[in-house]
Copies of this chain bind each other. A is one copy, B any other.
Amino acid sequence: MSRFLSPEARRLDPYTPGEQPRDQKYVKLNTNESPFPPSPKVLEALSRAEAEKLCLYSDPTCTLLNDAIARRYGLEPENVISGNGSDEVLAFAFRAFCGEGRGAAFADITYGFYEAQAALFGLEARRVPLREDFSLNVEDYMDFPGTVVIANPNAPTGMTVSVSHIRRLLERNPNRVVLVDEAYVDFGAESCVPLIREYGHLLVTQTMSKSRSLAGGRIGFALGSQELIADLNRVKYSFNPYNVNRLSLLAGAAAIEDEDYFQSCCRTVRDNRAWTVEALEARGFTVLSSSANFIFARSNRLSGEELYRRWKENGILVRWFGQDRIRDFVRITIGSREQMAALVETLDRLLENDG
């Protein structure tokens, strides 16, 4: 920290992203990326002719992309805002709807970034403990006087809250925004998007980083009532009007239009998840019920830290958080069948050496 850092910035709580080794020697199951390349339609859209136009600014209204997203979800373009990853859209929401005396509430075990972003805007962050079994009780959020943020499915547990419970929260909290972060929804959870027409205070965020194989393209979006989206645009135009670059606008629109490819990738991930869960359970693991493209698992023989370390020594990267309630667990991204087989084979060797 320099001596120029403001007191406000001293209070920041920066997020630590998962390891991103620049060499490619690891089987990378640590940051919930897709094991599949983007849709062939995305590759086509990123033509040389389009690259030549990079001298021109991108469309600040993101019309091509927002229109495609709106069509896909049966909404109007005015119900959509796109961002440089869903992290950016989440930050817009924190700035738009929170402030002094209007903090944000989220689970004690959830995406670590909510906390970092709350600090960015000097907000009170209330961490609401999940139940002992890591399930979320919406009753705990009923009287919170600020924005409620629910990751559904949750990270890093992969567990879901039912849409009927979220509906109850919306009914009982008509005067506060409820933000449902559906980064992982496409891998088997029920989406709240159909509730958007009913509840003007529901904001849903999604990302193309996981189910659309575009983590490196940085494309996220929020869906909500026209009024909420207008509020988010107010923040966007105070922060970075040209927030999505030209090629990502094209890539995102092409990805969202290739429904078949998307469905097929999601199906394969679900199949590989079931295969991996079965394999790990057969080896003495407890695996939380996951609706995401990752699983959260602990071994009856090796600690979370040991698992992380020894898999890594053997060329396999998973993520270990080391926080109190979850230090026994590792989070394992669901990759291709070959990657999952490598994970299990390596595990067998570790357990053998350990036995």
Contact with B along A33-62 (1 / 0, CB 8 A): 111111000110010100111111111110
Closest to A255 in B: B54
A209 surroundings in chain B (CB, below 8 A)? 57
Contact in complex: A234, B9 (CB < 8 Å): yes
A1 surroundings in chain B (CB, below 8 A)? 227, 230-231, 234
A20 at the interface (CB under 8 A from B): yes
A256 at the interface (CB under 8 A from B): no
Q: How far apart sit A97 and B3, CA to CA, in the bound complex (Å)? A: 9
A215 at the interface (CB under 8 A from B): yes
A130 at the interface (CB under 8 A from B): no
Contact in complex: B238, A14 (CB < 8 Å): yes
Q: How far apart sit A20 and B175, CA to CA, in the bound complex (Å)? A: 36
Interface residues on A, range: 35 or more
A246 surroundings in chain B (CB, below 8 A)? 216-217
Contact in complex: B38, A56 (CB < 8 Å): no
Contact in complex: B218, A20 (CB < 8 Å): no
Known: A54-B37, A54-B216. A84 touches B240 (CB 8 A): yes
A241 at the interface (CB under 8 A from B): yes
- Of A116-124, A132-140, A277-285, A300-308, the segment with at least 4 beta carbons within 8 Å of chain B is A116-124
A248 surroundings in chain B (CB, below 8 A)? 245, 247
A247 surroundings in chain B (CB, below 8 A)? 46, 216-217, 245, 247-248
Q: How far apart sit A63 and B21, CA to CA, in the bound complex (Å)? A: 11
Contact in complex: A238, B60 (CB < 8 Å): no
Contact in complex: B9, A235 (CB < 8 Å): yes
A34 surroundings in chain B (CB, below 8 A)? 55
Contact in complex: A96, B6 (CB < 8 Å): yes
Q: How far apart sit A242 and B91, CA to CA, in the bound complex (Å)? A: 14
A37 surroundings in chain B (CB, below 8 A)? 52-55
Contact with B along A89-126 (1 / 0, CB 8 A): 00100011111101000000000000011011100000
What are 10 contact pairs spanning A and B, CB under 8 A?
A4-B231, A6-B102, A13-B238, A38-B52, A54-B216, A91-B240, A116-B239, A117-B238, A216-B246, A247-B247
